Structure formats: C-alpha cells, structure tokens
C-alpha cells in the first residue's frame, strides 16, 4: 500500500510488514511505556527516547537513547497513525501520546532512500531518523546496525545489530 515504510508490528512475521521475528530488545522505559512525542514519530526508521519523559522522536537530541522505532501491537491503525508524504518515500507517523517500542538491537527491514551495499554500517540522519549506508562526510550518526542486503534507491533492506560491518565506510 503506497510502498509504506514502518507498517506492521514486531509480533508479525510476513516480510511485507517490514519487521522480523529475530530477537530484539527495547530501550528501557522506566515505570511507564515509551510514547510518541507530541508531534508524533515515524515508524520503521530511527528515533531517540527522552530518558526522563519517555517520549520518542525522530529528531536527535544529545543524551537521548537511539533505537529503531516499531509500533506496539495494533498501534498503527488509522486512528493512531497517518501517512506522511514528502520524504523520499511515504512514512507512517504514529500520533503523539500513543505507546511505541524503541528497539536497541534486532533485525529489521527499513527503506533506504539512497540504497546501499551489504556489509556497510548503517547511519541515520539526526534531523529525520532516516537510514543511510554512508556517513555523508560526518553529517550522519553511526548506529549499531549493519546493512545485510544490497539494493538501489528506496529499496526495503534488512539491517541487523547482530553483525559487524564488513567495511568501515565513512
């Protein structure tokens, strides 16, 4: 549907939804569940959680925990999420205040606007949380994930935190 990124839940296996059943660990949330920041959070890309308020955003903030944003069970229906066009591909945005999972490790599928080569370190844009296979001359932030597949522009590719990059690409 529209080539969306970030559909599905971590509890479903079909590759069409973009997530795998490999083990993953979520970022600690303290006494409450993590929630989407008031402006919402894009699903299926990288985000950061506020360790005090428990809010997750796709905008980098110093001292916040990096993770891969996935919805909780059934948290992506039309009442909780909407489609945002205007990025290199449509994104599903979880509305502010709804529960979200921020995974610190795991295997996931995500869309790469510029494509990438298997074995490359995965980087993220601190302004959007979008994944990239290059550091853009130091403008992007390194993640603990490695690209496990090769593909062209807007390809849906597997990333894994359980493998080290073959090449130390910058």
Q: Provide DSSP, 90-118.
A: -EEEEPTTSBEEEEEE-EEEEEETT-B-T
**Same domain, yes or no, for 101 and 139?**
no
pTM above 0.95, yes or no: no
Looking at the structure, tell me whether residues 21 and 101 fall in a common domain: yes
Task: Give the whole-angstrom CA distance, residue 153 versus residue 55.
Answer: 31
Residues 80 and 58 in one domain: yes
Residue 84's pLDDT band (boundaries 50, 70, 90)?
confident
In a domain, 120, yes or no: yes
* pLDDT interval class at 12 (50, 70, 90): very low
CA triple 21-24-30, angle to 5 deg: 135
Residue pLDDT, tens place only, 103-147:
999 888 999 999 999 999 999 999 999 999 999 999 999 999 999
Task: Please give the residue range of the domain that contains residue 47.
Answer: 15-106
Cα–Cα dist 42/20, whole Å: 18
* Same domain (yes/no): 22, 63: yes
Measured between alpha carbons, how far is 30 from 169 in angstroms, rounded to an integer? Answer: 35
Report the number of distinct structural domains present in the chain: 2
Whether residue 96 is found in the same domain as residue 130: no
Structure tokens given for 90? 């449509």
Asked if residue 8 is part of any domain, the answer here is no
């Amino acid at each position: 549907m529209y080539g969306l990124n970030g559909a599905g839940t971590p509890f479903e296996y079909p590759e069409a939804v973009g997530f795998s059943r490999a083990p993953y660990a979520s970022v600690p949330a303290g006494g409450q569940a993590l929630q989407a920041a008031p402006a919402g959070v894009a699903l299926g890309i990288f985000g950061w959680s506020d360790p005090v308020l428990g809010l997750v955003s796709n905008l980098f903030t110093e001292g916040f925990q990096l993770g891969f944003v996935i919805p909780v069970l059934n948290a992506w229906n039309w009442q909780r999420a909407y489609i945002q066009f205007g990025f290199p591909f449509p994104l599903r945005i979880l509305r502010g205040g709804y529960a979200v999972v921020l995974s610190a490790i795991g295997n996931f599928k995500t869309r790469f606007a510029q494509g990438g080569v298997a074995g490359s370190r995965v980087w993220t844009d601190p302004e959007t949380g979008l994944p990239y296979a290059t550091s853009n001359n130091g403008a992007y932030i390194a993640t603990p994930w490695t690209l496990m597949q090769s593909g062209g522009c807007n390809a849906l590719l597997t990333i894994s935190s359980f493998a080290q990059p073959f090449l130390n690409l910058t």
